[in-house]
Structures are given as C-alpha cells and as structure tokens.
Structure 1
Amino acid sequence: MQDDQAKVNDAKLPDACSGVGDAPKVRLNTKKLLKGHINKVNSVHYSGDSRHAVTGSLDGKLIIWDTWTGNKIQVIPLRSSWVMSVAYAPSGNFVACGGMDNMCTVYDVNSRDASGAAKMTRELLGYEGFLSSCRFVDDNTLVTGSGDMKLCVWDLEAGIKKQEFEAHNGDVVSISLSPDKSCYVTGSVDRTCKLWDLRQPNCKQVFYGHQGDVNSVCFHPSGYSFATGSEDKSARLFDIRSDQEVAKYTPPGTPPSFTSCGLSLSGRFLLCASDDNNVHIWDTLKLQHNGVLAGHENRITSLCVAPSGLGVTTCSWDQNVRVWG
C-alpha cells in the first residue's frame, strides 16, 4: 500500500517548499514554573480561553492553573491517583480525567461539593482497560480512548454512550479533534493512526509509517493534516488529502522517543516533548530542526499549545509544570 502511495508522489515537501524562506529561530523561555504536585505529572490540557490549564498527577490531584499568573485556581482530589489523561472543555466549564481506574470522571469546575472541591458530575464506566485519552467536543459530548482498543463517544447530559466501537489492534493512546470538531484522529500502540467522523462511527482513513507506538497525535490548524510523535524516535506529518505521510522529523544526535506533540497556530512549527527531558522544535515545511526547550529534569509526559497560539505548557516526571512563552 505504501509503495502504491509512493508511486503517485509528485514532489517531496522540502522540494515543494524550497522557495519558502527559513523560519526564524524559536525563542521560548519558561515564563512560569508551576509547582504544586508532589508526584509525576502525566497530562496537561488548556481551556478554550488559552489562560487556564488542568494538570493530572500520580499524587491523586487535578490542579487547575492560571498560566498567566502562575496561581492555582482549584485543586481537585481524585478517588484514584493513577491518572493518565486530562481534558478541559473548550468552554472552561468542565474537566475530565481517567487512568488505571478504568473510568472517566467529569467535574464541573463552577460548582462545589460539600468539601469545597469541584463537583463530580459523571463517572463514565464500562471500560475493560485503562482510560488513555479523553477530549471534549463540547460541554455535552466527550470522546474517550482506552486500553481495551475501543473508542467511545459519550452524551454527558444523559450519561450514556452514544457510540462504542473497536478502533485499533492495540491500546488507543491519543485523540485529537479537528478544528471544526467534525472528526478526530487517533494514535495507537498498533503503530497506526486513524481518522474518524463524529457523525458516524466508521473509520475514514488509516495511516501507516511508524515503526513503534504512536504516543501522540495533533491536528494541524488547517484541518487537512496532522502531526504525530512516536516511540520509534521520530515525529511525522500526515496529509489527509493525499492519504499518506509527507514528512518525517528526527533531531540531530541520538534521537529520543517522543511522548507528546503540538503544532503552532500557523502550523509552521512542530513541538515534540521527549524522554530526553527536552521539547524538540522543527520547521514543518523545510524539515529543519529549530532548537530545543530545555529546563525539565525528567521525562516530559505531555505538551499542550494554547488555542490562541501564545503559549505552550509542558509537564514532567520532575513533578513540575512549565509555561513557555
């Protein structure tokens, strides 16, 4: 199949972009060092306002941060400390999390329970494996992926599954929604990425190329392509219209494995968090390594670019969260 795709390639991305000027050097510094977790921080996600972010840690806490001031807005204690994924609703009204407890829990950040913490509104059960990823479409719709190889789409108001289907031949580990929220892409330990339509539970396209677990997927702001970060020590760009990989990114020296990826608002820069404690940056068009963000002292587990494009937040096994700008 990949041979057939290669036959219809009429140009390579760097050749097609040879007339484009080199991108400027990315100069991001740590604007805020967010301290508060007392164990490995596994996941971070921005609210739609590009100001607030939620992090989940193995200390059994979700923390909602004001990334502009560095202040903690809320600390939400969890029933299970084994949190693997967090998600912030675009509206900023809800956060969700899940992990080794095999469920997804949703909290309303605007209302409090008797203890003063954010009120739990839903516990979404029925997984046969750990919850690896979750993303809000809106306040009433949540997409989840899990270690049982399935995808579920939830109606949060009714608390029911709208869709459930076998998605991959291995754990689903990452979900990214398209800019118009009509479809989403998933990455899996089966080394493939798949494109799905939210309106109907069928796989539209399958993308091959990676030789290891696809740890992270991120939709391009144009909606026509997506980036990936993988255990095979490469990041890649896949084009949906041409149905294939169009670029492969590896850093100079001994390449690390990549845990999480994000794209700048223009899509010109790809940022990949890695297990060498750094964030690697590339010019997506010319495939040039643009530099690293250094500061974390252990494996970076998750990276999220603010919807406005004006900030990047990373979290790490060093127990810290960094806001770059």
Structure 2
Amino acid sequence: MSVAELKDRHVAATETVNALRERLKQKRLSLLDTDGAGYAISKSRTSVSFGPTDLVCCRTLQGHTGKVYSLDWTPEKNRIVSASQDGRLIVWNALTSQKTHAIKLPCAWVMTCAFSPSGQSVACGGLDSVCSIFNLNSPMDKDGNLPMSKMLSGHKGYVSSCQYVPDEETRLITSSGDHTCVLWDITTGLRISLFGGEFQSGHTADVLSVSINGSNSRMFVSGSCDATACLWDTRVASRAVRTFHGHEGDVNTVKFFPDGNRFGTGSDDGTCRLFDIRTGHQLQVYHQQNNDNDVPHVTSIAFSISGRLLFAGYSNGDCYVWDTLLAMVVLNLGSLQNSHEARISCLGLSADGSALCTGSWDANLKIWAFGGHRTVI
C-alpha cells in the first residue's frame, strides 16, 4: 500500500471518528435534561450567604523576586511550598510567615512544586524536563544549598505538573509537554507506567495539569492543550478510561471534587466546568459574563472541603468564589483590600479547609482566612 493510500485511509478514519464523536455528543445532550443549577433551583436551594468580610487577607508572604508559578500545602496544614521564576523553592510557615527553606534550583525555569504526604520532601519540575526531589531534612552543602536527593528523568518535554500519590511517599505522578503523564517510583528513580504517548489513547497535545482522586488513588485526571480532560486508571496505562470534551481552549487546571466522583476544570476559554466520572456528563459550567472580547483565562482551581465552593484564579488577577450548586459568583477576592496586583497563577486550600493561599505574578503569596464564625469552608 502506498503512502498516499495510507494518508487517504487516515483522513477517512479521522472523519468517521469525528462524526461518531459528534453523534455521541448530541445523544448525551438529548439525555441531559438539566444541569446542576437547574436541578438545585427546582429543589428550592438557596445561594451560599457570603460577604466580603467573611474572607480576609490575613498574611502576605514576601520573599520571591520573580513570578510565583506554583504552590502546595502540607497535609498537616501549616506549611506551604512555592515555586517562582526566581529559580527558588521557598517553604513557608503559614502561621508565622517565616521561611524555613529557600532552595536554589539547578534549573531556574520551574513550573510546578508539591509536598510529599509526610511533608519531609518536596518535588518540582519545569523546562529542564525532569522532576527533582529534595529531602528537607538533608544537610546543606558547602555553598549553603540543599542538595537534590533524586532526579526523575524520562520526559521528552517540560514537566508541567506533579503530585505525590496520597499516603505513598515513594510514588509520584507528573504531566508533561510531551503529551504524556508518568507514574514514578521515587526510590529507584524509574517510571512505573506511561499514560498516553505514541498511540491515540490519550492526549494529543501538551498535558498541563494532573489531580489524583483522594478517594481512590488509582484514578487520576489530566488536563491538556487539546481542550480535553482524561481520566486514567494506573492499573491500565495503555488507554484513558474516559475523555471529557466541552472546553474550547487549553485546559490549564484540573481538580477532583471532594467525593471523588466528580472533577473540576479551568480553561483558557474563561470557563470552569464540573464533570461526573461515572456518566461522563458535564454537570455545570461556571462562566462570568464579560462585556469585552478579552476573556480572562482560568489558571487554577480548588474546591472547599464540602465541595459547595469553587475557588478559581484568573489571568486578570481576579479570584472568584463560586457556588458550585447554583453556578453563581458569591465573592471576588480580586475586589477586596490587599488583593493581588497581577495574574493569579496558582491557589490551594489548607488540609483542614480553614485557609486559602493564592500565588501571583506580582511575586507574592497571600493567605485568606475566614473571619467571624466561619472556620471551615
């Protein structure tokens, strides 16, 4: 068979797949008679009562000299690690604002960071295409720097996101610009499984974010520049369990809902969406109407412990607090006193749900906590 014939067959097969995908989409829409907000309204649910004084900026963490790109909380709630364009990881005590570690990285172009479940190690990755592990208990070298304890090498593109498998100090999942995700064994430095890649079984563009299911750590979800999210089972790496369509731009961030049955996404199309992993349906769209055509991108999301609130950071410096049930904005942290002065690049909730940390291109991190009677979000 000639190359031309193979190309013709490929084009025909692609058209058939796209036609079937469109038919499937229309069938799903016909079966989906309402969305989450419509159902909630029919049950007379009311919006969360939430005023500007309920959530206040109680700390500003200053120390980075470049844009903050990523942050993560420890499971014991009071420490934060942040990664910045200045080429450093900083570990903070969130209660006192003190820096406990300032780690100079071998590659300054860091894009992601994460705490291990014990809080004893941190991982980071970026444009050097490797994931670097640092043991915070290791002694400093002669230059006063913390030495790298392990390098996870194997990706063929930048490392965009990393997350430790919950309660497993030696396993970590990364996503990359090479269109794949990898499950690693940190002890050996070797990869256990590769998700996606050569076969059209996963993403077809850069993977930007991963989130592991807190209820079932064998399942994780990934978001990509191909405008889709994929659900994976670590026991079956050859093919995504399900692919979720709906976004019209890069999916920059994904996050599992607290119950593990749903997950949220945030995209360059300016929307956040909520998907159900059991049915594959899109349950809700969180979209703020803008008067102009310059729609701010969603850069990062997090859910409250109950799941009733969705925090979403945007490229214009806004940080909306959404009522997930009614798809209504109940507060914009960007409009409050002491808010960020540039793009919100990352955010995360403390383990007990009592505080939110946001990171920005203004080189600062801010901790937001409830005043008054509220303690847990």
Which TM-score band (shorter chain)? over 0.9
> Are positions 1:217 and 2:234 aligned together?
no
State the distance in 2 between where 1:36 and 1:51 align.
Answer: 18
* Pick aligned residue for 1:174 from 209, 219, 237: 209
Structure 1 position 299 matched with structure 2 position 371: no
Are 1:208 and 2:245 counterparts?
yes
SS in 2 for 1:62: strand
What percentage of residue pairs aligned between the two structures are identical? 35
Residues 161-184 of structure 1, C-alpha deviations (whole Å, 9 max, x = no match): 101132410100001111122211
Look up the equivalent residue of 1:187 and give its one-letter code.
G
Question: In structure 1, what is the Cα distance between the partners aligned to 2:228 and 2:189?
Answer: 30
Alignment partner of 1:60 is 2:95:
no
The superposition leaves residues 86-119 of structure 1 with CA deviations (integer Å, 9 ceiling, x where unpaired) of 1111210111001111111011112223244434
Secondary structure at the residue paired with 1:112?
coil
Q: Within the alignment, does 1:144 sit opposite 2:174 as a pair?
A: yes
Corresponding residue of 2:264: 227
Instruction: Letter of the 1:20 partner, please give it.
Output: R
> Which residue pairs with 1:17 in the alignment?
40
Q: Secondary structure at the match of 1:14?
A: helix
Deviations 1:98-156 (A, max 9, x none): 11111110111122232444342111112211110110012100101100101111001
**Deviations 1:188-225, CA, capped at 9 Å, x for gaps:** 00000011112331311110000000000010001010
Q: Specify the SS of the correspondent of 1:111.
A: coil
One of 13, 16, 26 as aligned partner of 1:3: 26
Match of 1:49 in 2: 76
SS in 1 for 2:112: strand
Q: Name the stretch that deviates more: 97-106 or 21-30.
A: 21-30
1:133 aligns to 2:161 (yes or no)? yes
Which protein has the bigger helix share? 2
**Mapping of residues 82-101 of structure 1, within 5 Å:** 82-101=109-128
Q: Distance in 1 between matches of 2:48 and 2:305?
A: 14
Of Structure 1 and Structure 2, the greater strand share is in: 1
Q: Secondary structure at the match of 1:4?
A: helix
Match of 1:76 among 89, 99, 103: 103
| Residues 208 and 244 in structure 1, CA contact (< 8 A), matched pair in contact too | no
**SS of structure 1 residue aligned to 2:95:** coil
Number of the residue aligned with 1:124: 152
Tell me if 1:271 matches 2:311: yes
Q: Which residue in the other structure is 2:9 paired with?
A: none
For residues 59-99 of structure 1, the C-alpha deviation after alignment (integer angstroms, 9 at most, x for no partner) is: 11000011111111111110111001111112101110011
Looking at CA atoms only, which structure, 1 or 2, has the larger radius of gyration? 2
The two structures have a TM-score, normalised by structure 1, of 0.97
Partners in 1 of 2:242 and 2:49 — Cα distance?
34
CA RMSD of aligned residues (A): 1.3
Q: 2:297 aligns with which of 257, 280, 290?
A: 257
Aligned to 1:155: 185
Q: Write the distance in 1 (CA, Å) between the matches of 2:341 and 2:100.
A: 25
2:359: which partner in 1?
315
User: What secondary structure does 1:110 align onto?
Assistant: coil
SS of equivalent residue, structure 2 residue 241: strand
Q: What's 2:219 paired with?
A: 183
CA contact (8 A) 2:193 2:234 kept: no
The aligned counterpart of 1:164 is 194
Say which SS state the counterpart of residue 266 (structure 1) adopts. coil
- Provide the rounded CA distance (Å) in 2 between the counterparts of 1:252 and 1:210: 16
Question: Which whole-Å deviations, capped at 9, do the CAs of 1:285-316 have from their partners, x for residues lacking one?
Answer: 01111121121111111111112111111111
Tell me the distance in 2 between the aligned counterparts of 1:200 and 1:158: 21
Q: Pick from 275, 284, 304 the counterpart of residue 324 of structure 2.
A: 284
Stretches of structure 2 that go unaligned for 5 or more consecutive residues are: 1-23, 197-201, 370-377
Per-residue Cα deviation, 1:4-41 (whole angstroms, up to 9, x for no partner): 11122143211211222221115311111000000111
Deviation at 1:252, TM superposition (A): 4.0
Instruction: Tell me which amino acid in the other structure corresponds to 1:23.
Output: V
Letter paired with 1:126: G
Indicate whether 1:32 and 2:76 are aligned: no
**Partner SS state of residue 68, structure 1:** coil
Q: Is the 8 A contact 2:89 2:104 kept in 1?
A: yes
The within-5 A match list for 1:186-201 is: 186-201=222-237
CA contact (8 A) 1:174 1:216 kept: yes
Separation (CA, whole Å) in 2 of partners of 1:22 and 1:319: 34
TM-score by structure 2 length? 0.84
* d(CA) in 2 for partners of 1:12, 1:177: 25
Aligned to 2:12: none
Three-state SS of the structure 2 residue aligned to 1:105 is strand
Distance in 1 between residues matched to 2:281 and 2:247, nearest whole Å: 12
Counterpart contact for 1:184–1:195, Cα < 8 Å: yes
